[in-house]
Amino acid sequence: MKYMLLIYMGENAMSDGEREQCYKDSTALCHELAENGKFIAASPLQPVATATSVRVREGKRLITDGPFAETREQLGGYFIVDVADADEAAAIASRIPAAKKGTVEVRAILEIPNLPRKLETVGASS
């Protein structure tokens, strides 16, 4: 079963050094998961200042700068894993370095038939 592990934390929760270490530790976790056939994707997100929210109301597109909700913690990144069950997904979520400073939400992915399945890696060459 596939799960998305959504990482939330305040953008200033980590120092630059802590963030760099978090990236290194997260990369190591991704390699370990890949070796065990459980890794699908993972990536940090750009700061919320780069976010745009899009809504369609009465057929009109409304674009707003920033994230949808005003909160103390923002969506900062994600992992997608393929594991046996929610308990295994939660165990992996607890190993994500950012869980020490923020929150990792574990959500099962709803598989819809006939969707394209290939996930392209940003910046990957063919």
**pLDDT for the residue 48:** 83
Find how far residue 122's CA is from the centre of its chain: 14
**pLDDT for the residue 65:** 82
**pLDDT for the residue 4:** 97
Q: Which domains are assigned to the chain?
A: 2-108 (3.30.70.1060)
**pLDDT for the residue 108:** 96
| Residues of the chain falling short of pLDDT 50 | 123-126
**pLDDT for the residue 80:** 97
Report d(CA 41, CA 109) in Å as an integer: 13
| Cβ atoms of residues 81 and 109 within 8 Å | no
**pLDDT for the residue 68:** 63
Rounded percentage of the chain residues whose pLDDT exceeds 90? 67
Find how far residue 66's CA is from the centre of its chain: 17
